[in-house]
Amino acid sequence: MKTELLFPTPEALARAGELLRSGEVVGFPTETVYGLGANAMDEAAVEKIFAAKGRPGDNPLIVHIADADGLAPLIASEPGPHARALMDAFWPGPLTLIFPKSDLVPYGTTGGLDTVAVRMPSDPVANRLIALAGVPVAAPSANTSGRPSPTTAQHVLQDMDGKIEMIIDGGAVGIGVESTIVDVSVDVPTVLRPGAITMEMLKAVLGEVQIDPAILGPMSADVRPKAPGMKYKHYAPKADLTLVEPADGDMESADSLERMTRKVRQLAEEKLAEGFRVGIICTDESRGQYSNGLVRSIGSRKKRETVAHNLYGLLREFDDLKADYIFSESFPQDHLGQAIMNRLSKAAGYHIVKV
Ligand code: TXA
Ligand code: MG
C-alpha cells in the first residue's frame, strides 16, 4: 500500500472522510497527539487499526465525535451530572470520558468491554475530518504499539508508511501528551490517565475525583488498571531510560536541582566511559551543566506546556541518534507535571534514581 501524505486542504479532507466512511485507516492530527482513525462502528475497519499498530486486541480504542449529537448513539443511557459538567467545561478538548456503551458500538472497538471511551477533539482539522466522515472515528495514537506517540505527521509516517492509506499533515500538535481519561461510569469520577485537563481543573468542576492507582506507580501483578492500555510498556524509546529525582520531592530549591543535575551528569559520564551512546534530557536552566553526551533541552522548567510539547519528539530523536542510555531530569507532579511524569516514568519502566 502506498501511504499518501497530504496537507489538510478541503479536497484532501473530503477524500480522507470518504476513506474513513469506506472502512479505511487515516492518520490525522488532534490537539493532543496524532491519531490513527477508522470507522468506530465497523469491526472490520477497526481491525485494520489493530493490525497497523500491532496493538493487542484487548486494548480498547477512543471513539472521536465532531459534535455533541454524536454522543447519544454511542452510550447506553443519558450522561449523568458528572459527565454533563465535564462535557460543558472541557468539550471540545483533550478530555476522554468513559460511559456504558450502547449495543451499536462493536466489542472490537471497546476491546470486549461494556464501556466506551468518547472524546470530542478541539483541533479544527480533526473536527472537520470527523464531520466529513459522517461516522464516529475510533482513533488510538498513531504510533506502532509501544513506541512514543507521534506529535508530527513525519512521526506517523515513520511508523505507518505502507500500512495505511493516508496521513493528513496538520503540522506539530499543540499539547503533545494524550487526552486525560475520566471514567464517569462509576459513582466517583476516576482519572485513568492524566493529561492536559489536570487534576486541579477536574476538582474545580467536580469537587471529588479519584485517581486510578495504576497512574501513580509501577503495578503489582494482581492490580488491573482500569484503562487496559496502561498495563502495556508504553511510550518507550529504544534506549534504556533512567529518571533522576530529588528524594525530598522538592524541585524548587537550587540545592535539589543541583543534586539532580550532578547525578544525571555522573550517571551519564559512567556510561560514556564504557563507550556507550548516552542521551541527556535536561532543561534550558540546566543546559550549561552538561558538556558530554547527546544533550537535549526539553524546554524551560518554568513552562510545563513546552516540556509536554517536546517530550515524545525528544524520545524519538534519541531513537534516531541510536542512544543506548538516556538519563533525564524530572519535574514537579502538579498540574500538567502529573501527565509529564506519568509518561516519563512509564517510558523509564519506573527506573527512577532518587538523590
Ligand atoms: O489524546 C488522545 O486520547 C489520543 C488522540 C488520538 O485522541 N488517543 C489516544 O488513544 O491516546 P490510545 O488508544 O493511544 O489510548 C487510549 C487509552 C488506552 O489506555 C485504553 O486502554 C483506554 O484509553 N481506553 C479506551 N477505552 C476504554 C474503556 N472503555 N475503559 C477504560 N479505558 C479505555
Ligand atoms: Mg497510545
Give pLDDT, residue 206.
97
Nearest ligand 1 atom to alpha carbon 193: 19
Give pLDDT, residue 232.
60
pTM summary value: 0.96
Burial class (CB in 10 A: 0-12, 13-18, 19+), 126: buried
Query: What are the CA-CA distances from residue 329 to residues 99, 263, 286, 296 (Å)?
Result: 37, 9, 9, 11
Give pLDDT, residue 234.
67
Give pLDDT, residue 326.
98
- d(C-alpha 265, C-alpha 212), whole Å: 34
N-terminal to C-terminal alpha carbon distance within the chain = 50
Q: Is 122 in the pocket of ligand 1 (CB under 6 A)?
A: no
> If you measure from the C-alpha of residue 117 to the centroid of ligand 1, how many angstroms do you get, rounded to a whole number?
7
- d(C-alpha 38, C-alpha 26), whole Å: 7
> If you measure from the C-alpha of residue 288 to the centroid of ligand 2, how many angstroms do you get, rounded to a whole number?
34
Ligand nearest to the Cα of 123, by number:
1
Q: Mind listing the pLDDT tens digit for each residue in 8-66?
A: 999 999 999 999 999 999 999 999 999 999 999 999 999 999 999 999 989 999 999 99
Ligand nearest to the Cα of 149, by number:
2
Nearest ligand 1 atom to alpha carbon 178: 1
**Which helix or strand (DSSP H or E) is residue 83 part of?**
helix 81-90
> If you measure from the C-alpha of residue 242 to the centroid of ligand 2, how many angstroms do you get, rounded to a whole number?
21
Distant-in-sequence contacts of 105-109, Cβ < 8 A, 24+ apart? 105/40, 105/41, 105/63, 105/74, 106/40, 106/41, 106/42, 106/43, 106/46, 107/43, 108/43, 108/46, 108/47, 108/57, 109/40, 109/41, 109/43, 109/46, 109/60, 109/61, 109/63, 109/138
Which residue lies with its CA nearest to atom 31 of ligand 1? 227
Q: Is 106 in the pocket of ligand 1 (CB under 6 A)?
A: no
Cβ < 5 A residues, ion ligand 2: 141
User: In tens digits, what is the pLDDT along the chain, a chain of 355 residues?
Assistant: 999 999 999 999 999 999 999 999 999 999 999 999 999 999 999 999 999 999 998 999 999 999 999 999 999 999 999 999 999 999 999 999 999 999 999 999 999 999 999 999 999 999 999 999 999 999 999 999 989 999 999 999 999 999 999 999 999 999 999 999 999 999 999 999 999 999 999 999 999 999 998 887 776 666 677 877 766 666 788 999 999 999 988 888 999 999 999 999 999 999 999 999 999 999 999 999 999 999 999 999 999 999 999 999 999 999 999 999 999 999 999 999 999 999 999 999 989 999 9
> If you measure from the C-alpha of residue 331 to the centroid of ligand 2, how many angstroms do you get, rounded to a whole number?
22
Nearest ligand 1 atom to alpha carbon 96: 3
Q: Which residues pair with 353 in a beta bridge?
A: 244
User: Which of 99, 178, 234 has most ligand 1 atoms within 8 Å of CB, for mutation?
Assistant: 178
Nearest ligand 1 atom to alpha carbon 230: 19
Give pLDDT, residue 221.
62
Q: Is 36 in the pocket of ligand 1 (CB under 6 A)?
A: no
Give pLDDT, residue 112.
97
Query: What are the CA-CA distances from residue 62 to residues 35, 137, 222, 330 (Å)?
Result: 10, 8, 25, 29
